[in-house]
Every structure is written in structure tokens, then in C-alpha cells.
Structure 1
Amino acid sequence: MKRIFVVISNVLVCCFFTWVFTIISATVVSRYYPFVAVRGNASGIQYKKVAEKLTKLANETNSLIAIQHYEAGSNGDSVVSYNRFGKGKLPRGLVEKADSKQARGVESNYFIFRGKLTVERLKEELNQLGLTHLSVVKPFLLGSLAAIFGSGFQLLSLFIFLLCFAALSVISQIRALRTAGIRLISGEHRWKIFTDPIKEDFLSCLLGIFPALLGAVLATFVFSFPFAALYLMVVGIFVYNLLLLGISFNFCALFAIGIKKVHLMQVIKGQIPVRGIISLILIGQLVAVIIVSLGINRAFIYSKAWQQQEKGRQAWAQESRLVQLTRSRDGLNIKRSEKIDPKEWRWFQFVKEAVAKHDALLSKHNLVQQVFKQPTERHSDWQDYSPQGNVLFVTPNYLQKQGIKLDSAIREKINNLQQGEFALLLPESLKAEQKKYTVLYEKDVSIIASRQGEEQQKMKAIVSYLPVNQMRFVYNTTPIAYQQYLKDPIIVVLTPQSTGEQSYEFWSNALQNDLLLNGVKETQELLQKYQISHWASELTPARLVYRRIVEKLQIEIWTTIAGAVLGIVTSILLFNTMNLLYFEEFRRDIFIKQVSGFTFWELHHSYLLAQLLVFFLGLLASLFLTQSIWLSFIVFLLFTGNSVVLLQLQMKKESKMSVMILKGA
């Protein structure tokens, strides 16, 4: 049983690594090779100068250096490529940039793939060139593995695997206990008795490692993973098996040391000190209670999020042309100054034309901010109508796309907003407070339309009203807030033309998450027109972003449910293990009391109370972690019921062996 578990768990670990690296294949190189991250270019140095310096440095140190680039491909997907400096080829799986002369961005990651060059010296050389905001990254192998396994379903699964193996190890040691007395009399050393299961575990790990390594190699070739991914998979598989052997050795030591404290005659009679092991298993049960509670709670959370996302499926199905743009690092401005940043200014001109001539759509909401403030609340229907509350900032084409009916005169004004104007569409329920909200939003939009440190541009509201009890689609593509609709929000309509050139920071920031462009090909042509194609790392259909979020939620639901089921199965295994130990320690006493007419509760009340105490502690921990009373209580009842039922089943087995127990007493 244990050997089968070890082999299957190794294969599952390999499958998990494969799944993870298919998701992070583009960034796995940064988890293995050292690099310098560059986020600023204060001197404005050009790529050509940086390339000359890196070529000279690579030749001096006999090293291979590469600059990483993220760019949007012909179909809009993100393409990762590298400019190579020095002798040698790039590591397997990495793509060299076809035309290095087009690589203008210098704010990127600078990798050292081989050679004598250190990241400290590379950082110093880049700093001398005028590059700023430099960070040295030296990946630590175990740290990279911890980052992969350190959260979510993967951490839950790892705990469950280790708990399950611990239970199986205890069972194998119990089997050794049953013959320990005879083997000690025959002259066998106590350490040899309890190290035999370790030898079996070592062979099991070897059997499990072989298919796991084979799977890792096949996955590397099938999915074209870089060498770094294969290396991490191999090390991860070996670390997992070392953890298993460590657990096996710990239980071997516990049993071997424990049996030393018992007189030989007691061992022969079956009186084995296993109370300490039972205590450890009780702690394991506590962990199992918490794991199951967290798993079920996460499954409920993800299922609710999935239901909210599903409400927008039909609306998203009609939006096949909308595109979300992701900017590369060299297309971002991380410094703030009083002068207009050239990058932000070019992005503003790009957005201005995209909105005016190419039907780009703004849909800016506050759902993400509200999630951070009140993570357990639902925000589809909330009554905070401040600029940080139930409000939607949009461009005029949003009204047309969503079929929002307005007076023809108002619609004409909205479609031709002049500089200094914006439309304020209030729900009719706020009609009595029209003056209050007009003043509030004129002030807020004036701040949006102005640069910090300069005199504010006064914005004037064109006020109109919308019917109440209306759900407004928000085009949400963020993975943090899952809602797709707001009920009766205030709608603020503006354009880059109406807010003026001083609002370039607002529109440049909106481009990253809130502005959806129209068509991949049209967007690429517009990027080329403003010579900023190299600043765009990806052009993704917004509908595809939405689908990915929904699919990820579905995966999270099933994996958390699977984790909870595995936790329950592991807890049953722990119950059986603990019952075996319990009867191994108290078999004679239990049988004598049973013959004397003691009831089930009288026989086992101390044992059951110990378990109930552990389950109660698990209940308190679950309440604290999940904030769900009913879920924690159901898990508490589930474990309590399991405990009683499995103990009764074990009691029946022991009763059938009563004659054998008397003869061996």
C-alpha cells in the first residue's frame, strides 16, 4: 500500500510541476539564473550604447549575457525573446531576438547565463551607464521550490501527501512492533528491527523517482520547457522523496528509542509505549481538520466568484473585438517629476486617437479597491456614491454598446464633449441630491483633468438621469474582483479630448486595466504609427482574458474540492492508524473491561475525549481562518462521526480476536 502511494504521489508531483511550468514557462528562467532588474533610465541612454558596453563586458569576463524582451506578436500574444552578448548559445528553450537592432528598450532584465561575471559587477556597470532602480536577483533553488509549493492547492496537497505517508509509516512500524519481542530474544538489534521499513521506503522512493523523472524529461521536450524548468523539476522530485524518507526515519527513531525504555518481558507481552505516537497522530488530525475546513471554504468562495463571472458570459460573448494591452517594463514610467514624461505623453496621444477614431472603450470601476477594503462584502448593489464607490467612468461609446437610452439633446452633447465638459448620469433615486453630487464630481473630475502642482482645470458637468434598478455591465477583466455588473451606479462620461492634455496620467494609467482597444490588427497599426510597438508586451482579446479567469476559477474549485476529499481520506487513514496504536497499547485492558460488562463509552471515553478535544481545537482554528460557523461545525461533526464509526468497526475486529488475545496475554 505504501509503495503504491509513493509511486503515485511521485507521478502526481511530476504532473503538478508540468502544469505549473506550462503557466509560468516565460518566467521560469528568472527562478534559476541570476539577473539584474532595471526599472529606470534617468540618463536616457540608447540601446546601442548599452549593447556596446555589454559586448565588451561579456568578452572581458568570458561570459554570456542576455537582455530579456517582452513584445506583442503578430496575433497579439506575448513573445519573450533575448538579445545575446558574448560567445555561446542561449540555454535550450530560450528564443533569440531575430533583429537585435529593433530592440530599443533598456529597462528590462539582464541575465548572466554563464561565465565569470557576477551580478554585482553587472549592476555596477549598468549603473555607470545611467540606468537606475537596479535590483540584483540571485535565485535560491530551495527558495524557488518554496515559491512554487508555498501557497494554495499545491501547499495543501503537499501537506496531505506527507500526512498520508506518515500514517502509512506508523502502520509499517506497528507491524514491526508485533514481532519485536521475538526478534529481540533471537538477538536482533532494536535499530535493525525498525530500520527495515526505511529500507523498504528507500526502494519505494527509487521506484517512484524513475517514472517521475521520465515524465519530467518527456514534459520538457513536449512543452519545449527551458533547461531551468527540467532542473527545478528534478530537484523538486528529489526533495519530495527526501521529505518522505525523513518522515520514515523520524518514526523509526521514535519507535527504536521508545522500545529501549521498556523491559524485554513487557515487549514480549505486547506492552509497547505508543502513547507518544498517538499524540503525534492527534496533532495530525488537528492539521487534517484545518486542511479540510480551508479546502471546503475555498471551494465555496471560488464557486461564488465563478457564479458572479458567469453572469457576464452572454455580455462578453458579444465583444469579440475588444483588446487589452499590456505594457512592457520599458514602456512604463516609474518616476514622478514636474516635467511631462515623454513616455506618458506618447501613450496619451495614442489613447486620444484610439478613443476618438478607433472606438476604444473606457470602463473604470472601483471594485478592486472595495475588495481590499471589505473582502467579504458583495458590491453589485452598494449605496456609496462617492467617487471611490458605486461609480463607473466610461467613454461615450459605452452608452451605445449597452443600449442606454438618453434624451437626444443630452446624447448629442455627450457624443461631442468639449474640453472642460463631462457627463454626469445619476440614478433617478439621487435626483433630490443632484446639486451635492454635481459639486462632488466636478471637483473630482477636475483633479483627474489636472497635473499635480499646477492650477486645476475646471470641469463642468452635463447632468442627466437614468432609471433605477438597472444592472450595468462593467467589462471587468481583473482577477481580484469577480463581479461583472453594478446596480444603478453613477456613470461619468469623459474623453481624452474633454479632459485635456493635462489628464495624460489618468489616461495612461487607465490603459493598463480599464481601457479596452478595438481590434488586434488596428491596435498594432496604431502602435506602429506612434512608434511604441516595443512598449507593448501583449495584446490579448478581452473576452479571452475573461475566459481565462473563469477557467482558472473552475480549476481552483475542482482542485480545492480534491484537496478536501484527499484530506478526508487522509484523516480516515490517520483514524485507522491511531486505532491500531490504541488497541496495541491497551488491548488486554480493553478486553478485560469488555468481559466485565463495560459499555462502549465506559471503555473508550478517555480516548474519545482526547479526540474531541483535538477536534474542538480544530473547530476554533477553522472558525478563525474561515470566518464560517456552519462550515466549521459541519467539519467538526464529520470528524467526530468518523472517529466513533471507525472505532466501533475496529472494536468489532478486536472482539473476533478475543480468544487469540487471551491465549497471548
Structure 2
Amino acid sequence: MKKLFILLSNLLASLFFVWVFTIWSDTYVSHYYPNIAVHDSSPETTFQQVTERLEKLAKETDSFIAIQHQDPTSEGTTAFSYTTFGEGKLPDGLQERTLEDSQNSSVETNYFIFDGHLDIHLLRDELSHLGLTNMHLTIPSKRSTLLSIFSFGFQLIGLLIFCLTFGSLTLINQISQLRSSGIRLISGERRGSIFLRPVVEDLKGIAVGFGLAVMLTIVLQKLLSLPKESLLTIGAGLLSYNLILLLISLFFAQLFAVGIKKVHLMQIIKGQVPVRGIISLILIGQLLAVIIVTLGIGSSLKYSQAWLQHRLGKEAWSQERQLIILSISREGTSPGFDEQTQRKLTVWYNLMDQAVSEQKAILSRHQLIDRLMQNGISSSKNLTTSTEWQDYSPNGNVLIVTPQYLERQNIPVDTAIEQKLNHLAVGEFILLLPEHLRSEEEHYKSVFEDDLTSRMSSQNGRQQMTATVAYLESSQDRFVYNTTPISYQQFLKDPIIIVVTPQSTGPQSVMFWFDAVQNYVLFNQLSDAQELIQRQGIENWVSEMQSGYQNYITLLNNIQRERWVMLAGAVLGIATSILLFNTMNSLYFEEFRRAIFIKRIAGLRFLEIHRNYLLAQLGVFLLGFVASVFLQVEIVIAFLVLLLFTGLSLLQLHVQMQKENKMSMLVLKGG
């Protein structure tokens, strides 16, 4: 069984690594080659200045350097290309762009050293002298890449489950061979060679599993056209995993070899083993199992709730397949409040002004991220499928939209309001309250006039905002077009809807509209977004134009995958725990069979007979419960897992007790 586990786990690990590198196909170079990410630059720095210095630097250091370009294709997806300097060849799968075609490119991008003697810190200094600032250095290694893969999420849980299962199988295997080990000791075989025998068997299994996993990786690399560099990292990952298995095997071999010195040779031959020490090891394994299963079940339930919450918007999104969201590149934004930053903000404001006035985009600014931050990112309150939200403060159940939102969602308003919507003057906005808030009109009118005035102000000015109040039918769920990756709510019940336009909020509201473009604006279709961007001459400011529907579906599928993998990890953890229970109970009855039999004849009940044994297990389960709560698992989930393990312990002990009772009766009858 252990050999089968080694083989299957290696194949699964190989498939997992290949899957990771298919996701990283566009950006894998960032995980292999030293690079510098530049996030800001001086207005005086030109692309030509940078290329001339890089060309000279490449010759001086005999290196191969490249500038990465990230541009949206005609389909809206992101395409990466590289302008190179020095002698060399780009890694497989990377597209080269000539220097002539790159003259209008941004200098705020990634700079790679693909080959040569150039030090990454020297490259940073040279770029800094040219006026590039806010730089982040990356010096990748196979170790850092593997750590980035396994440092969080279902990957870490899966690795822990595999290690726990293998450790349990190794422990059970060592126990089963103790009697034969005693016989070999009598025959003169060395103690070390006896207990290393299972390690040698494990090593053979690891060699076979590793070999087959590498073969599978090579085949998949050819079929999926993965970069050759990925083979080395996948090989290092598989080797690291198998070394962990080998270390676990060596640990138990050494433990038994040392521990067995304290036991008389004849006891080993009779099958009597150092039970207390072994049971202590199993209890440690059970502690790990409780923690891992609790984390797995807790995460699985959270992802299930997130999936249910997110799935509620599937039908609504399926009717909005043409909507496009933008990803802004580094050149499209600048930190600070200098003249360059203000110029960029003004350009984005002008783009939004044109988009809204020509009815080519909609704004749906919700407060769900604020709600998530208030509750805490890990809070279960964020994953409710309920659309109700009773907080009607400015950061609560409020939608800030443009007029086209009402049209797309078929939200009826009075004729007078409908006429006013498309002719909002500077300083005006429409405040649409749900009918049940009619009695508090004055309060909300005052609150939101103050909030909008503050929200739309900047260092360049302040525009007093005035509301025109109207009412909407209550008990209505409103679709919010949520595309944010950390909040899954798609509908809100009876939100306060605020209708604005860039024209009505005034030119000083540039910061509000810039934030909106990044997170809350959807363009009617790809051609509209491309036309508006070209009209402003900011093609370099946009890295991707993605379908909002595809963004939604991708996130939905990711949540579903995490949900099932976490659940599978929890199930495997429970199965491993059952194996440990069986082994521990067998050892327990082997050691204390006589004492148990005497207590049973004396009339003691089940719980009285096994009190100390059960208390030891309960103590471990309670420790696992406390550790799980400390790791921010919901206390209810941790308590249910505690009950699950306690129930499994009692059930398996009861079953084993029944077997022992039948055996005792046969002995008494002379059977």
C-alpha cells in the first residue's frame, strides 16, 4: 500500500506542477531570470535614453538584456514581447520586438537579465541614474519558486496531508515488522541494517515513483509546449518532495532502532513492543490530523459559501457577456501629487467623460470591499448568500452609478427623473431611496450631499453636490457587476442608488473616476473601449481589456477548484486518522489485554475500563482544537471536527472491544 501511495502521490505532484506552469505560461520568465520592475520615472526620461544605455551596458558586461512590453491584443488579451540588447537568444516561447517598433513604449516596465555577467544591482543603479524610480528587484531561484508554490492555500494542505499519510503508513509498516526484526537480531544481523531495510524498500519505491513522474512531466511538457526551464523546476520540486518522504522514512527507522534497545530481545520476538512510546507517536500524528482536517474542512466550507454566493450572479453575468473591464499598466498611473500624476488623472477623467456621455460605459461603484475590510477578510460574515445589508451609511448598502446602469437593469423611475438623468448639471446628482426609507428623506439627503461633496473633492477644488431625491420600489435585488477578486457578492437588496456623471461631479473629481476605471467601470464592448483609448492616445496605459463575464467565470472556477481540493484533503486526512486509530487500538489491546479483561470481569463499564486511554486521546483532540482556533478556523467548525474525532475514537475502540470480547469467550470455552 505504501508503494502505491508513493507512486500515486508522485504522479499527482507532477500533474500539479505542470498545471502551475500552464498558468504561469505568460510570466514564467519572472520566476527564472533576474529582473527589475520599474513603477515610476522622471518626465524627462525617454525610451531612447534607456535603450542607448542598455545597449552600451550589454556590451560592457557581455550580457543579454531585455525590456518587457505588455500590450493588449485586438481581442483584448495581454501579449508580452521583448526588446533585446547584446548577443543572445530569447528563451523558448518569448516573442521579440524590434527596437524600431518599440520607440513609443513605456520605460515603466520590467527589465530582464537573460545571460551574461551583469549584476542586477548594477542594472538598478544604471536605471536609477536615468531617472527611473520605485524599483523592485527579483533574484529568483528554484527554492524561492517552490516556496511561492507551496507557501499557502490548498497546495500547503495537500503537502501536509501527503506527508502525514506517508508517515502513518511508515509507522504501521515498522510496527508490523518488529517480530521479524527480533528474529533477525538473534540470527546475528546488525540492528542498523534491520531497521534500514524498510528505508531501502521505500527508496526503491521513491525511485520508481520519481522516475515515472519525471517521464510524465516530459511528455506533458512536449504536449503543452511548456518552457524547457520549467522541467528543471518541476524536477527540483519532485526531488524535494521525495527527499521529504525519504527523511520521514529515515526518521522512523532511527527512532525504532534507538527505541528498541530499551526492550528485551525475547519481548520483541514475542511481539511485545514499546507500546507507550509508539502510542505517543501516534497521538502526535492524530494531533496533526486534527489540525489538518480542521483547516481542510474549514477552508472547504468557506470556499463552498463563496462559490454559492458568487454563483448567484451567473445568470445575470451571462446576459452581459460583452462588457469589458480594463487593467491599467504602470505607465497609466503615478504615485504622489505632482504635475505628471495630475495630468494622467485628467486624461482618465476625460476618457470617462466621453464614455459616459456617449453611453459606451457604465459605472457600478459598490462598497463591498469596505464591508469586507470592516468585517475582517477571514470573517464568515463576508460569505453569506443573503443580499440584505441594513447599513445605509455612505460606506454601506449604497451604489454609485451612471445613468446607463438604470437602463441596463430596467430600473423604472419617474418621467421627470428620467429626463434629468442625462442632463445632470455640475454639482447635481440623483438620490434614489428605497420606498421604506421615505420617512427619513431629509436625513439621507443631507448625509449623502455631504459625502458626495467630500468624495468628489481634491486638492484642486471642491464642488458642492446637491441631491434630487426620488424613490424605488422596495424588496428588490440589484445586480452590482462585482468584478473584484476578494468579494463575491453579486446582488444587494434595496441599496440606495446614487446617479452621477463625470460632468456632474466636476473636473476636480479626477481621483474618484480614476479609482472607478480600475475597479468599477465596464465598457459596453471591446471596440468601444479600444476606440476611447485610441482617441486619448493612451494605448500604453492599458495592459489588458478583459471580458467581465470571463473574469467572473474564471473566479467561479477557481473557487470551485479550491473547494474540492480542500475537501479531498480533509477526506484523506480522516482516512489517515482512521488508519492511526486502528493501529493504536491494536497496540493498546496487545499491551493491556489482561488488565482490560480483569476490569471487565470486575463489572466495570466501557468508559470506566478505557478512561485513561480515552482521556489521553481527548487531550490531544482538545489541543488540536485550540491550535485550529488559533489558526483562525471558525470555532464551530473546530468544535465539530473535535466531536468527529472523538466519535471516531469511541466507535473504533468499541468495535475493537467487541472483537476482544469474542476472543476472550473463545479462550474461556477452550476454543
Q: TM-score, normalised by structure 1?
A: 0.93
Q: Which residue of 2 aligns with 1:555?
A: 561
Deviations 1:594-624 (A, max 9, x none): 7888765555433222112212333344455
Alignment CA distance shift 1:630-1:451 (3 Å): closer
Alignment CA distance shift 1:31-1:207 (3 Å): same
SS of the residue corresponding to residue 302 of structure 2 reads helix
Question: Displacement of 1:171 after TM fit?
Answer: 1.6
Contact between 2:294 and 2:641, CA under 8 Å: does it hold in 1? yes
1 CA distance for matches of 2:604 and 2:191? 37
- Paired letter, 1:97: R
Q: Which residue of 1 aligns with 2:428?
A: 421
2 CA distance for matches of 1:491 and 1:208? 60
Q: 1:611 is matched with which residue: 599, 606, 617? A: 617
- Paired letter, 1:446: T
Q: Which residue of 2 aligns with 1:213?
A: 214
Deviations 1:23-66 (A, max 9, x none): 23333322222111111102441212211111111121111112
SS of the residue corresponding to residue 325 of structure 1 reads strand
RMSD: 2.5
Question: Displacement of 1:140 after TM fit?
Answer: 3.7
Q: Which residue of 2 aligns with 1:365?
A: 366
Question: Displacement of 1:651 after TM fit?
Answer: 5.2
Q: Larger deviation: 271-280 or 206-215? A: 271-280
Q: How does 1:73-112 map to 2 (within 5 A)?
A: 73-97=73-97, 100-101=101-102, 104-112=105-113
Q: How does 1:315-334 map to 2 (within 5 A)?
A: 315-334=316-335
Deviations 1:382-423 (A, max 9, x none): 222222111101000011111111111111111111222211
1 CA distance for matches of 2:414 and 2:588? 80
2 CA distance for matches of 1:586 and 1:192? 31
Q: Which residue of 1 aligns with 2:417?
A: 410
Q: Larger deviation: 145-154 or 393-402? A: 145-154
Contact between 2:83 and 2:102, CA under 8 Å: does it hold in 1? no
Q: Which residue of 1 aligns with 2:281?
A: 280
Identity of aligned residues (%): 50
- Paired letter, 2:380: T
Residues 1:514 and 2:515 are matched in the alignment = no
SS of the residue corresponding to residue 391 of structure 2 reads coil
- Paired letter, 1:326: S
Deviations 1:339-396 (A, max 9, x none): 6533222222222212211420000011011112113325732222222111101000
Alignment CA distance shift 1:56-1:265 (3 Å): same
Residues 1:118 and 2:119 are matched in the alignment = yes
2 CA distance for matches of 1:340 and 1:623? 45
Question: Displacement of 1:213 after TM fit?
Answer: 0.9
Deviations 1:267-299 (A, max 9, x none): 334333242232122122122122222222222
- Paired letter, 1:92: D
Q: Which residue of 2 aligns with 1:21?
A: 21
Question: Displacement of 1:15 after TM fit?
Answer: 1.2
Question: Displacement of 1:476 after TM fit?
Answer: 0.6
Q: Which residue of 1 aligns with 2:157?
A: 156
- Paired letter, 2:219: L
SS of the residue corresponding to residue 341 of structure 1 reads helix
Question: Displacement of 1:194 after TM fit?
Answer: 0.4
Q: Which residue of 2 aligns with 1:382?
A: 389
Q: 1:443 is matched with which residue: 450, 462, 466? A: 450
Q: Larger deviation: 463-472 or 538-547? A: 463-472
Q: Which residue of 1 aligns with 2:142?
A: 141
Residues 1:399 and 2:406 are matched in the alignment = yes
Q: Which residue of 2 aligns with 1:267?
A: 268
Alignment CA distance shift 1:469-1:588 (3 Å): same
Deviations 1:233-276 (A, max 9, x none): 11110000000001001101110111122333443343332422
- Paired letter, 1:535: W
Gaps of 5+ in 1: none
Contact between 2:334 and 2:341, CA under 8 Å: does it hold in 1? no
Deviations 1:462-482 (A, max 9, x none): 222222222111011112111
Q: Which residue of 1 aligns with 2:483?
A: 477
Q: Larger deviation: 531-540 or 196-205? A: 531-540
1 CA distance for matches of 2:400 and 2:97? 40
Contact between 2:43 and 2:340, CA under 8 Å: does it hold in 1? no
- Paired letter, 1:182: I
Contact between 1:47 and 1:105, CA under 8 Å: does it hold in 2? yes
Q: TM-score, normalised by structure 2?
A: 0.93
SS of the residue corresponding to residue 76 of structure 2 reads coil
Contact between 1:361 and 1:398, CA under 8 Å: does it hold in 2? yes
SS of the residue corresponding to residue 123 of structure 1 reads helix
2 CA distance for matches of 1:660 and 1:637? 35
2 CA distance for matches of 1:160 and 1:587? 33
Alignment CA distance shift 1:629-1:88 (3 Å): closer
SS of the residue corresponding to residue 462 of structure 2 reads coil
Question: Displacement of 1:633 after TM fit?
Answer: 3.7
Question: Displacement of 1:206 after TM fit?
Answer: 0.6
SS of the residue corresponding to residue 179 of structure 1 reads helix
SS of the residue corresponding to residue 137 of structure 2 reads strand
Q: 2:540 is matched with which residue: 518, 530, 534? A: 534
2 CA distance for matches of 1:449 and 1:606? 68
SS of the residue corresponding to residue 569 of structure 1 reads helix
Alignment CA distance shift 1:568-1:446 (3 Å): same
Q: How does 1:191-230 map to 2 (within 5 A)?
A: 191-230=192-231
SS of the residue corresponding to residue 112 of structure 2 reads strand
- Paired letter, 2:448: Y
Q: Which residue of 2 aligns with 1:45?
A: 45
Alignment CA distance shift 1:350-1:314 (3 Å): same
Q: Larger deviation: 127-136 or 344-353? A: 344-353
1 CA distance for matches of 2:68 and 2:359? 32
Contact between 1:328 and 1:537, CA under 8 Å: does it hold in 2? yes
Q: Larger deviation: 584-593 or 349-358? A: 584-593
> How many pairs were matched up?
661
Question: Displacement of 1:541 after TM fit?
Answer: 1.0
- Paired letter, 1:468: S
Alignment CA distance shift 1:627-1:214 (3 Å): closer
Q: Which residue of 2 aligns with 1:461?
A: 467
1 CA distance for matches of 2:601 and 2:257? 33
SS of the residue corresponding to residue 84 of structure 1 reads strand
Q: Larger deviation: 585-594 or 638-647? A: 585-594
Contact between 1:272 and 1:584, CA under 8 Å: does it hold in 2? no
Q: Larger deviation: 98-107 or 393-402? A: 98-107
- Paired letter, 1:304: Q
Q: Which residue of 2 aligns with 1:639?
A: 645
Deviations 1:206-248 (A, max 9, x none): 1111121122222323233233432221111000000000100
Question: Displacement of 1:336 after TM fit?
Answer: 2.6
- Paired letter, 2:392: Y
- Paired letter, 2:650: V
Contact between 2:360 and 2:528, CA under 8 Å: does it hold in 1? no
Q: Larger deviation: 329-338 or 607-616? A: 329-338
2 CA distance for matches of 1:189 and 1:653? 37
Q: Larger deviation: 235-244 or 277-286? A: 277-286
Contact between 1:322 and 1:518, CA under 8 Å: does it hold in 2? yes
Alignment CA distance shift 1:26-1:588 (3 Å): farther
Q: How does 1:479-628 map to 2 (within 5 A)?
A: 479-583=485-589, 585-586=591-592, 601=607, 603-623=609-629, 625=631, 628=634
